[in-house]
Amino acid sequence: MTHWSSRLLAAHLGVGNATVARAWREAGVQPWRAESFRFSTDPQLVAKVSDGGVGLYLGPPEDAIVLCVDQKSQIQALDRTAPVLPRQPHLIERRSADYVRHGTTTLFAALEIATGKVTAAVQPRHRRQEFLAFLKRVARAYPERELHLVMDNYAAHKTPEVNDWLADNPRVVVHFTPTHASWMNPVEVWFGIIERQAIHRGTFGSVKDLNAKIRAFIDGWKDRCHPFVWTKPTDQILTKANRQPTSEARH
């Protein structure tokens, strides 16, 4: 048995189902719920959390810009085989279960956490060439400013071409998040916003159509962007990152 329901446990113990349910409720036990977790094994965990990422969010360098950079790849241009039926009184929106794939696109974004401003680009792929071109675009968007870029450990972020460009542009400083800690990059929150508000329920007749609607969302974001405020201090993150004893229960 890998999972006990209240009815199974009640039958096993020879008591009523309501008795088990009441005991669980009083003890705050919810055995039907489960979450996943992943520990960061990065040997530079403390330094990356303290000096990079969180340290930059809570105490950004004076006169410098902190940008959170990443790419959202494999965004599908999905079209429905029948028109979407809009909401009506007492009826929810309905759409056909089958769809047509028209291809994919990649969205590169740099989120300025102090203002919520986003510099973005859509590209057909997410190789080192596209990433380096995006870095140059970000640098042009903030001329003559010291830039601190927070990004993950994706291979395209660390290629010789990227490193050479960074060496030639010392005003751009890169800070890597710990491995398996993408949640420490607030641009992921913004990716969630655009996914919910512009992509997930959309229908797109082509990749060109998808790109156009992504750009339209980004243009509209300029009028409603807001600061992304980091609230969790370094010590809480490091405490949570330490491995906790796991259950030895046998079922």
Q: What are phi and psi of 188, to 5 degrees?
A: -65, -30
Has residue 48 got a pLDDT over 80? no
Q: What are phi and psi of 183, to 5 degrees?
A: -65, -15
Q: What is the pLDDT of residue 27?
A: 92
* Higher pLDDT, residue 233 or 61: 61
Q: What is the pLDDT of residue 86?
A: 79
* Higher pLDDT, residue 81 or 18: 18
Of 83-97, 104-118, 231-245, the poorest mean pLDDT is in: 231-245
Of 13-22, 72-81, 240-249, the poorest mean pLDDT is in: 240-249
Mean pLDDT within 34-53: 64
Mean residue pLDDT of the chain comes to 85
Q: What is the pLDDT of residue 249?
A: 47
* C-beta separation of 173 from 51 below 8 A: no
Write out the H or E segment, with its range, that includes residue 242: none
Whole-model pTM?
A: 0.79
Question: Which residue segments constitute the domains of the chain, with CATH numbers given?
Answer: 6-34 (no CATH), 45-232 (3.30.420.10)
Structure confidence at residue 230 as a pLDDT band (50, 70, 90): confident
Q: What does the DSSP assignment read for the chain?
A: -----HHHHHHHHTS-HHHHHHHHHHHT--TT----------TTHHHHHHTSHHHHHHSPPTTEEEEEEEEEEEEEEEEESSPPBPPBTTB--B--S-EEEEEEEEEEEEEETTT--EEEEEES--SHHHHHHHHHHHHHHSTT-EEEEEE---GGGG-HHHHHHHHH-TTEEEEEPPTT-GGG-THHHHHHHHIIIIITT---SSHHHHHHHHHHHHHHHTTT---------HHHHHHHHSPPPPP----
Of 5-9, 160-164, 210-214, the poorest mean pLDDT is in: 5-9
Q: What is the pLDDT of residue 174?
A: 92
Mean pLDDT within 151-171: 92
Q: What is the pLDDT of residue 134?
A: 95
For residue range 102-139, what is the model confidence (pLDDT) as tens digits? 899 999 999 999 999 999 999 999 899 999 999 999 99
